[in-house]
Structure 1
């Protein structure tokens, strides 16, 4: 192995150090993407489980708010997100919330949230579905929202945490408008304490107005993360392989070994 002593020179030791660092970074990036793959897989599994499960009372998924009017309760845990729940109350038609800039089938419109006031005086926001803008206007033209059923309403749907952000909330033509479902910000506009999650409507008694389109549930692209895992780990292996390849080629050069050249068959005399 005398021929490989050149690997102990500063140049080759530096190349080895860079190779190991690069490979280690790539392995760590692969591990990070693997964690993301597991996280997103768990989210998809909770979505599927929520779709199949028997509904449970709202209180089993998210705690009731305990503060005064205008405050919001604790958000649901990750394990309780997407739980299918059932809850009964009365819709507050005077505080409809329009969430603009939402697309269904490539058409931009509004998600319509309406507070469902419960017997204890608290409220949970119910996402009743999607409707298009008013005809003849642009994507911000406020639609005509179907009226809510009078009296007691029983809602079945899945628990969702609020969205982040700090966009403004404004009242226009008697309705609140925003671009994000920011529960703490929306709660400040409402005259009761609000649960720390909203309910994505699946079923309603009395039946929901057919004008509403169901909000599509977006699964996370966990396989993209898995592809990144494979990609980074392959790059790490190729980096180590490349160092070994160039080291072996240098060793053969120093040993005076020249690569064999392929025989030029065209130059050989033709056999008679």
Structure 2
């Protein structure tokens, strides 16, 4: 383990803390994506269970607009009563099928006297430059039986709107606008009216039950958290290998010095000592990325010595005889 003693240095402790911080952030983002996936899974389960269920009727249906059970989102309700078209409101900036338009909100008084908000559907913007719709289909007059799907109200967006319009389906804002008690826990997306009008807004399209890429994103973030430590371990291993190569280089330099100097430091080489010293100093002062070019490469083991080995052995023998 002495080869990895550098891990206790301030530099490598900083690298480790940085890897820990990056892993913590990745785990947090992975959990956030997993929460989004769980939310979509829950919403898809409600759509699958409720979208085509038998409608709630009577008081059971009306009370959902005052106290909405989130488990019944998308569940159909059947209401009988009368529209109040004089208080109709358009919700602006609503896209559908690649176009921008409006949702048509109309208050509806049930037979029991409750007033609820119904979204009759979508209409496109008109051809005029002001972006207003060309025509808003009128609701059926008189007594009407409406079938709609429950939806929770939307939060306010803090933006104004022209007269007769609203920026979001903020039920509290509608209650203040109409200045009368209404159900503010939910509204209904209409998909059937009896009697049916000659012209009606387009109903809301069936929602998709796709959970999206959140699960895969979550797994990727968790994988990143592990990879930070893998990268740290790989970098530490490379540092240990580089240190080992540096030690081998130092040993190689000592071996070269031994060929030119005896134990007392006397020059025993054949060439010019100044040239030898210059070459050795130049090699010793090389940057690390250039020193790697001089590091000994691992040699393959051979069963028989090569001619180069034999030549080196002969030269060493002659040198010993000459001494």
Distance between the aligned counterparts of 1:245 and 1:204, measured in 2? 68
Go from structure 1 to structure 2 and tell me whether the alpha carbon gap of 1:259 and 1:208 turns closer, same or farther (over 3 Å shift). Answer: farther
* Correspondent of 1:195 among 170, 178, 183: 183
**CA deviation profile, 1:135-176 (whole Å, cap 9, x unmatched):** x313632432222222221111211111112333654xxxx2
Give the TM-score normalised by structure 1. Answer: 0.81
- Which structure's relative contact order is higher, taking Cα pairs within 8 Å and 6+ residues apart? 1
User: In angstroms, what is the RMSD of aligned CA positions?
Assistant: 2.7
* Correspondent of 1:94 among 86, 90, 103: 86
Go from structure 1 to structure 2 and tell me whether the alpha carbon gap of 1:64 and 1:52 turns closer, same or farther (over 3 Å shift). Answer: closer
**CA deviation profile, 1:173-230 (whole Å, cap 9, x unmatched):** xxx2112111111112225311121100122211244442122255476323223212
Q: Does 1:123 align with 2:115?
A: yes
Distance between the aligned counterparts of 2:200 and 2:297, measured in 1? 76
Distance between the aligned counterparts of 1:17 and 1:33, measured in 2? 24
Give the TM-score normalised by structure 2. Answer: 0.69
Go from structure 1 to structure 2 and tell me whether the alpha carbon gap of 1:243 and 1:37 turns closer, same or farther (over 3 Å shift). Answer: same
Q: Secondary structure at the match of 1:199?
A: strand
Give the structure 2 partner of residue 157 of structure 1: 148
Runs of 4+ aligned structure 1 residues displaced above 6 Å come to 257-261
Deviates more, 1:177-186 or 1:211-220: 211-220
Which structure is higher in strand share?
Answer: 1
Post-superposition offset of 1:255 = 2.6
Give the structure 1 partner of residue 238 of structure 2: 249
Post-superposition offset of 1:109 = 1.9
Give the structure 1 partner of residue 42 of structure 2: 42
Go from structure 1 to structure 2 and tell me whether the alpha carbon gap of 1:112 and 1:58 turns closer, same or farther (over 3 Å shift). Answer: farther
Count of residue correspondences:
250
Instruction: Structure 2: state its 5+ residue gaps.
Output: 249-294, 301-323
* Correspondent of 2:77 among 85, 88, 94: 85
Post-superposition offset of 1:260 = 6.4
Give the conservation status (yes or no) of the 8 Å contact 2:101–2:133: no
Q: Secondary structure at the match of 2:91?
A: strand
Distance between the aligned counterparts of 1:194 and 1:260, measured in 2? 85
Post-superposition offset of 1:248 = 0.7
Deviates more, 1:211-220 or 1:196-205: 211-220
Deviates more, 1:89-98 or 1:77-86: 77-86
